[in-house]
Amino acid sequence: MLNNLNRREFFVGTIAASLMLSRPAAALTEAGAKQLVDSVVSEVERVVTSGKSDSAVLRELEKLFVRYADVNIMAQYALGVDGRSASAAQKRAFSDAFTGYIARKYGKQFRDFIGGRVEVQSTRQIKAGYEVKTLAYLQGDGPFDVTFHVSDKSGRDKFFNIYIEGVNLLLTERTEIGAMLDKRGGDINAMIADLKSAG
Amino acid sequence: MPGFSQNKVLTLPSLALISALFLSACATTQDVATRTDGINDPYETQNRKVHAFNKGLDKNLIRPVAQGYGVVPVEIRNTVNNFSDNLSMPGVAVNSLLQGDLKGTGLATLRFVVNTTVGLGGLFDAASEFRIPDHETDFGETLAVWGVGEGAYIELPLFGPSTQRATAGLVVDFFTNPLTYSTIDGDDRIIPPTAAGVAALNDRERFGDSIDAVLYDSADSYAQSRQTYLQNRRFELGGNAGEGVDPYSADPYEDPYAQ
């Protein structure tokens, strides 16, 4: 990407980006939550229809996940009660491995999204922020009820959970990580190693 | 078996109803979720054996057959699904009525009439073309509306994940659906279950990636299918589910390490 930009655009872009970063985060609003979901949807659509190779698409999806999701809190929740005894280094390693795992697991079916569309239905306030309900119309299938939970508690507006037909990503992954830990007799390091190739 | 005796027709549904009431009575007494995660699974040991059996059946038979069936053009496969859906409509109408959902009863009846006539016996979903909304329900949901508890989680052979309440519903639906057992005579009686089976194969193929992910890519496919089923079922029953954890209460910002 970088070589497509000339120096000046790059310079201006950097300044703009740093300005945006330094601006104090405005409180999350209903419109902001909906806007975030719209951005996620349009970005995912752009990536899956880009015609790039599978591995390039997966890399792009992982970047989107990091940008739009509160990966840190999601990883902590998935690790659950076992996270209490984990060291800071283990938590970091887990969070990194978890990010790649989620991107691979949910990204590898990306072809199903080509030619589909997602329509925001309603938004309501929940404890941590806002819930945005959408209907996903996939090619010849659906609509499926897809709900995003968005919060600014990380300091930025990010989604922290997705429900597909009522099935909660955080709970599903907590079950999965718990089972992976059980298989390894509770050894967090071994589970992290497994997670790097899972998904 | 043509000339299925009038007597039997009357007794079978009542037997089913009695057994269902018995089952649901069990369900209410065992209603307390035994674990903090909202899962009530006192029969886990037995359930895991059934799960192993179901997984073997899927791997060796259902999955390969579904993949083979996937070769059939999608239009034809959809026709079978339409046909099977249409046969389920009288049951949907009856259950909607039992739930006090008169609008649902009317819509299901209308869909059945339109699809059976204009849709050539249910092969085509003309009702959707006329924008008559489709909905699904079963006697398990009726029981939920009537206030019967979900009961324990059960994995059934062949049918897969269920609960005591949903299983009772399955039994009652089988015997009371106006179009499955009592009203159809002779060899035709095999048509609805066959259509449902083939439609299920189509669904196995359509949602193949998601089902494979749960059954073959997860660290504990039993725990994962139980989790997925219960969440989805409670979601479908909406406000009527009434028990277990509120899926919307998951707030990791409170205490992400909480149990």
Taking an 8 Å cut-off on Cβ atoms, the answer to whether B235 and A131 are in contact is: no
Q: Is the ipTM of this complex over 0.85?
A: no
pLDDT of B54 over the 60 cut: yes
**Counting Cβ atoms within 10 Å, is residue B187 exposed (0-12), middle (13-18) or buried (19+)?**
exposed
| Nearest Cα to Cα of residue A144 among B204, B119, B210 | B210
Q: Supply the DSSP string of B94-162, one letter for each residue.
A: HHHHHTT-HHHHHHHHHHHHHHHHTTTTTTS-HHHHTT-------HHHHHHHTT-----EEEETTTEEE
Q: Is A127 on the interface with B (CB under 8 A)?
A: yes
Q: Nearest Cβ partner of B231 from A80, A141, A168? A: A168
Pairing of strands A141-151, B160-163: unpaired
Model confidence over A5-23: pLDDT tens digits? 455 555 555 555 554 544 4
Taking an 8 Å cut-off on Cβ atoms, the answer to whether B224 and A179 are in contact is: yes
Taking an 8 Å cut-off on Cβ atoms, the answer to whether B209 and A140 are in contact is: no
Taking an 8 Å cut-off on Cβ atoms, the answer to whether A81 and B223 are in contact is: no
Q: What residues of B are in contact with residue A72 (Cβ under 8 Å)?
A: none
Mutation choice for B interface testing from A72, A81, A177 by most B CBs within 10 A: A81
The rounded Cα B240 to chain-centroid distance in angstroms is 16
> How far lies B190's CA from each of A46, B47, B138, in Å?
48, 29, 20
> How far lies A34's CA from each of A62, A65, A147, B31, B251, in Å?
21, 17, 11, 38, 19
> pLDDT above 70 covers what percent of chain B?
78
Q: Is B216 on the interface with A (CB under 8 A)?
A: no
Region A85-114: what's the mean pLDDT?
90
Q: Is A74 on the interface with B (CB under 8 A)?
A: yes
Q: Which residues pair with A138 in a beta bridge?
A: A141
pTM: 0.82
Q: How many residues make up chain B in this entry?
A: 259
Cis peptide before B161 (omega within 30 of 0): no
CATH number at residue A171: 3.10.450.710
Interatomic CA distance for residues B226 and B161, integer angstroms:
6
CB within 8 Å of B111: residues ≥ 6 apart:
B86, B89, B127, B132, B134
Model confidence over B77-106: pLDDT tens digits? 999 999 999 999 999 999 999 999 999 999
Q: What residues of A are in contact with residue B217 (Cβ under 8 Å)?
A: 105, 198-199
Buried b (16+ CB within 10 A) or exposed e, A160-183: bbbbbebbbbbbbbbbbbbbbbee
Taking an 8 Å cut-off on Cβ atoms, the answer to whether A81 and B258 are in contact is: yes
Extract the tokens encoding A108: 């590898």
Q: What is the reported pLDDT for B240? A: 38
Extract the tokens encoding A85: 């005894």
Are A179 and B227 in contact by the 8 Å Cβ rule? The answer is no
DSSP E strands, A71-186: 117-126, 129-138, 141-151, 158-164, 167-168
How many domains does chain A divide into? 1
Q: Nearest Cβ partner of B236 from A76, A160, A166? A: A166
Model confidence over A24-51: pLDDT tens digits? 456 889 899 999 999 999 999 999 888 8
Q: Is B259 on the interface with A (CB under 8 A)?
A: yes
Q: What residues of A are in contact with residue B244 (Cβ under 8 Å)?
A: none
Taking an 8 Å cut-off on Cβ atoms, the answer to whether B210 and A109 are in contact is: yes
What domain range is A80 assigned to?
Answer: 4-195
Interatomic CA distance for residues B215 and A4, integer angstroms:
45
Q: What is the reported pLDDT for B249? A: 55
Q: Is B74 on the interface with A (CB under 8 A)?
A: yes
Q: What residues of B are in contact with residue A163 (Cβ under 8 Å)?
A: 235, 247
| Backbone phi and psi for residue B144, each to the nearest 5 degrees, phi listed first | -65, -40
Q: What is the reported pLDDT for A101? A: 95
Q: How far is A20 from chain B (nearest CA, A)?
A: 25
Model confidence over B117-166: pLDDT tens digits? 999 999 999 999 999 999 999 999 999 999 999 999 999 999 999 999 99
